Amino acid sequence: MLNINVDFKYTEKKKKEIMKYKDMVEKIHNELHEISTNENEFAGWLQLPTSYNKDEFKKIKKAAEKIKKDSDVLLVIGIGGSYLGARAVIEALNNTFYNVLTDKQRKTPQIFFVGNNMSPDYLNDLLECISKKDVSVNVISKSGTTTEPAIAFRIFREYLESKYGIDEARRRIYVTTDKEKGALKSLANEEEYETFIVPDNIGGRYSVLTAVGLLPIAVSGIDIEKLMNGARNGQEKYNNSDLKYNNCYKYAVARNILYKQDKKTEILVSYEPKMLYFTEWWKQLYGESEGKDGKGIFPASATFTTDLHSLGQYIQEGRRELFETVINIEKTKTDIKMKADEDNLDGLNYLEGKTMNYINHKAMEGTIQAHTEGNVPNILINIDKLDEENLGELIYFFELACAISAKILGVNPFNQPGVEAYKKNMFKLLEKPGY
């Protein structure tokens, strides 16, 4: 049974203030639904949990099974929306130290993400790490032209070809890209690589529940059927056009109200280190969707209690332009009970009988109280436990809230024109033809 609910009591955003947006939100809701089946728009993710291509889904599962059988390592090559979602889910739902477990403990391939930076050390370190292992590659790029993953793919394609020969290398390369456009698609056609499609009407940062995210996620042993079920629950729950009954839309409105009151930075907080890449995924989703036309909440993230010992001071007493959205996970998979110590030299006997999860929650309660008293409003998102279904629902919740929030702000949630500026300069400096 799913249990995600949103708590606004620490924001002082009274119902009445939120409900002023009722008509606006209903209009945006209708507009979004109207374009969601249009192939030329970018709102395909809205119906995806029910409308996804079942044949492609079967193909993903089959490829994942093959990779699990014949590979010790899967390299996921991609950047931005073409890797963050997969990494977010894989890290949230697997053992925190997944890649360093023994093969016997893990039972599924190690997964490394590459092509998301330009560091030669990163690549060489990775090559050293995988030298004695059987490797498959999933290269992901919707446009098929992004420089970082293209460079990494050139290097790892050559690596596979020299390790296995051209034919076996071909059987170990999986391409996720546009159905017809882009250099990667041409290469895949030429080399006859197995190919998965990024639907036209789903942009990179909204694509985790397509082959972009699902293939690597399935390879790590996560049940992608359950993940989609969770997203489908989100689709059912959060598509009520009436703001009064829609917590997802209330979150979108609350953050806009806070923004108008000069709370220009939102920190997504989790008390679970497994959620680190989920917050990275969220930052990209919100940053690229809202940061344009001189507007937008700056999306930041923190893992507590770790970052209470680095960012905590600033949050408590620095510039008062912050608000926090806290993801509270009620139950952990495992727990540890504190025992009494005869000598009590560390003075911790007051914790005897209390569990770590309980202590973590008390830290959270204490922090929320301190931060709200320090004029940092908190929105609380409560999740029963971290599993496929809840995470699927949470992904859908944040995607939908993001689109609604950007529309309230008056910006296009589905483009990212600003990303081109650095590329143009870089290409010119690298003397790329045509620049």
Tell me the closest approach of the beta carbon of residue 143 to ligand PA5, in angstroms: 3
297 Cβ contact partners less than 8 Å away, ≥ 6 residues apart: 255, 258, 259, 263, 264, 265, 266, 286, 290
Tell me the closest approach of the beta carbon of residue 245 to ligand PA5, in angstroms: 30
Can residue 416 be called a binding residue for ligand PA5 (CB under 6 A)? yes
**Do 187 and 174 touch, CB atoms closer than 8 A?**
no
With CB under 6 A as the contact rule, the residue among 110, 146, 303, 367 that binds ligand PA5 is: 146
Q: Which of 54, 309, 342, 420 is catalytic?
A: 309
Binding region for ligand PA5 (CB under 6 A) out of 105-113, 140-148, 222-230, 270-278: 140-148
Tell me the closest approach of the beta carbon of residue 36 to ligand PA5, in angstroms: 18
Can residue 91 be called a binding residue for ligand PA5 (CB under 6 A)? no
Which of 106, 105, 111 lies closest to 138 in space, CA to CA?
Answer: 111
Can residue 205 be called a binding residue for ligand PA5 (CB under 6 A)? yes
Can residue 202 be called a binding residue for ligand PA5 (CB under 6 A)? no
Judged by beta carbon, residue 4 or residue 202, the one nearer ligand PA5 is: 202
Q: Which of 288, 324, 389, 393 is catalytic?
A: 288
Q: What CA–CA distance (Å, rounded) separates 47 from 235?
A: 7
Can residue 143 be called a binding residue for ligand PA5 (CB under 6 A)? yes
With CB under 6 A as the contact rule, the residue among 49, 80, 234, 291 that binds ligand PA5 is: 80
- DSSP H helical segments within 181-275, as ranges? 183-191, 211-219, 224-237, 247-260
**Do 198 and 176 touch, CB atoms closer than 8 A?**
yes
Can residue 138 be called a binding residue for ligand PA5 (CB under 6 A)? no
Tell me the closest approach of the beta carbon of residue 124 to ligand PA5, in angstroms: 23
Q: What CA–CA distance (Å, rounded) separates 235 from 327?
A: 20
- Phi, psi (5° rounding) for residue 54? -70, -30
Can residue 81 be called a binding residue for ligand PA5 (CB under 6 A)? yes
Which of 143, 134, 136 lies closest to 173 in space, CA to CA?
Answer: 136
Which of 125, 170, 123 lies closest to 148 in space, CA to CA?
Answer: 123
Tell me the closest approach of the beta carbon of residue 8 to ligand PA5, in angstroms: 29
Tell me the closest approach of the beta carbon of residue 123 to ligand PA5, in angstroms: 17
Residue type, 389: E
With CB under 6 A as the contact rule, the residue among 25, 48, 67, 79 that binds ligand PA5 is: 79
- DSSP H helical segments within 101-182, as ranges? 103-106, 120-129, 147-164, 166-171
Stretch 230-249: interaction string toward ligand PA5, x if CB under 6 A? --------------------
Can residue 141 be called a binding residue for ligand PA5 (CB under 6 A)? yes
Q: Beta strands of 1-109 (E only): which ranges?
A: 4-7, 73-77
With CB under 6 A as the contact rule, the residue among 13, 29, 87, 142 that binds ligand PA5 is: 142
Residue type, 122: Y
Give the other-Cβ count within 10 Å of 182's Cβ: 19
| 288 is annotated as an active-site residue | yes
Binding region for ligand PA5 (CB under 6 A) out of 79-87, 90-98, 152-160, 325-333: 79-87
Q: Which residue number is nearest to ligand PA5 in terms of Cβ?
A: 204
Can residue 49 be called a binding residue for ligand PA5 (CB under 6 A)? no
* 3-state helix vs strand vs coil in the chain, percent to 5: 55, 15, 30
In the beta sheet, which residues pair with residue 138? 76, 174
Can residue 176 be called a binding residue for ligand PA5 (CB under 6 A)? no
What tokens appear for 415 in the block?
């483009």
Residues comprising the chain, all counted? 435
Pairing of strands 322-331, 73-77: unpaired
Q: What CA–CA distance (Å, rounded) separates 375 from 29?
A: 32
Judged by beta carbon, residue 108 or residue 416, the one nearer ligand PA5 is: 416
Can residue 229 be called a binding residue for ligand PA5 (CB under 6 A)? no
> What residue has token string 């609380």?
380
With CB under 6 A as the contact rule, the residue among 44, 85, 109, 204 that binds ligand PA5 is: 204
With CB under 6 A as the contact rule, the residue among 11, 36, 71, 82 that binds ligand PA5 is: 82
- Phi, psi (5° rounding) for residue 378? -120, 130
Tell me the closest approach of the beta carbon of residue 145 to ligand PA5, in angstroms: 7
The binding site for ligand PA5 (CB under 6 A) comprises 79-82, 141-143, 146, 149, 203-205, 288, 416
Residues with a catalytic annotation lie at 288, 309, 423
